[in-house]
């Protein structure tokens, strides 16, 4: 009888442990079934922009997409309400420097200033400091990487360049670029182009047709993963892009500087 009691007790204990373990396991999101082929990272640089950020957030929301907004510190400082709107809309916010310089042309102290001022501006607006940094023009070096590491920031570049910074790029070309995204990939886009805004709905349709969803960017490795909603992120594929060619950086720098010089708002 004693043996039977022990067996019964073991069964009860086993059942309890099973139930307890199951209750502690992450619960699958209902969205997981809609993302059989994984997640991609949609990113938008140079915001927030008083002329277009609200329209961009509305378009993303209507399309059921989430994205990471790499904000300029001076813009965040001047228009904190738009940074708050980004977070309220379900977007993630990253650091894109304070004044959009070529970081590799700066001294280490100037690099640190660009980074920390932006961290402070965004934290002041949202209560949380960014965990990711995207260098303007994709220009990076060992000194910058060291400073980012010291500030607890992960450098995030991209796998696909939408080329929306080039005024000659059409909406159809931006959609086609997004069509190259695979699980774990990150695409570079910008806050201000109207062609990008017009591409949002088509990008959402393409991702859905390919079993992909827009996800967050992991601060661990800079890859796109499932949002932190209790789901287990799918494995990411591909290799993080660490640098662009000198020609690509120069072309983007020239075009973006020209665009910024024509903007009426000093915050952009």
Residues recognised as catalytic = 45, 190
Secondary structure (3-state) at 28: coil
What's the rounded Cα separation, in Å, for the pair 103 and 117? 14
**What is the token pair recorded at 237?**
């594929």
CA pair distance 108, 213, nearest whole angstrom: 38
Q: Is the separation of the CB atoms in 132 and 148 below 8 Å? A: no
CA 4/CA 24 separation, integer angstroms:
30
Neighbour tally for 197: CB within 10 Å: 20
Beta strand pairing call for 216-217 and 224-225: antiparallel
List Cβ neighbours of 233 (8 Å cut-off, separation of 6 or more). 39, 215, 218, 225, 226
User: Exposed e or buried b for every residue in 239-260, given b needs 16+ CB within 10 A?
Assistant: ebbeebeeeebebbbebbeebe
């Amino acid at each position: 009888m004693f043996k039977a009691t022990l067996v019964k007790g073991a069964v009860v204990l086993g059942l309890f442990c099973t139930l307890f373990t199951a209750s502690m396991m992450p619960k699958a999101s209902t969205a997981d079934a809609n993302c059989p082929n994984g997640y991609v990272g949609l990113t938008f640089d140079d915001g927030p922009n008083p002329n277009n950020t609200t329209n961009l957030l509305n378009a993303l929301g209507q399309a059921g997409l989430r994205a990471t907004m790499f904000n300029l510190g001076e813009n965040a400082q001047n228009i904190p309400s738009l940074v708050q709107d980004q977070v309220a809309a379900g977007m993630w916010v990253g650091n894109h420097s304070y004044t959009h310089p070529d970081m590799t042309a700066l001294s280490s102290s100037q690099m640190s200033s660009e980074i920390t001022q932006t961290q402070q501006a965004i934290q002041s607006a949202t209560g949380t400091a960014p965990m990711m940094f995207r260098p303007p023009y994709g220009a990076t070096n060992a000194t910058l990487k060291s400073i980012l590491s010291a500030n607890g920031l992960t450098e995030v570049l991209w796998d696909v360049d939408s080329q929306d910074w080039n005024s000659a790029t059409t909406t159809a070309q931006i959609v086609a670029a997004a069509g190259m995204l695979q699980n774990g990939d990150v695409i570079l886009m910008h806050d201000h182009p109207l062609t990008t805004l017009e591409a949002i709905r088509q990008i959402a349709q393409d991702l859905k047709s390919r079993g992909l969803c827009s996800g967050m960017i992991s601060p661990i490795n800079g890859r796109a993963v499932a949002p932190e909603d209790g789901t287990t992120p799918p494995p990411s594929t591909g290799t993080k892009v660490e640098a662009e060619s000198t020609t690509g950086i120069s072309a983007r720098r020239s075009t973006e500087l020209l665009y910024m010089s024509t903007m009426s708002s000093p915050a952009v």
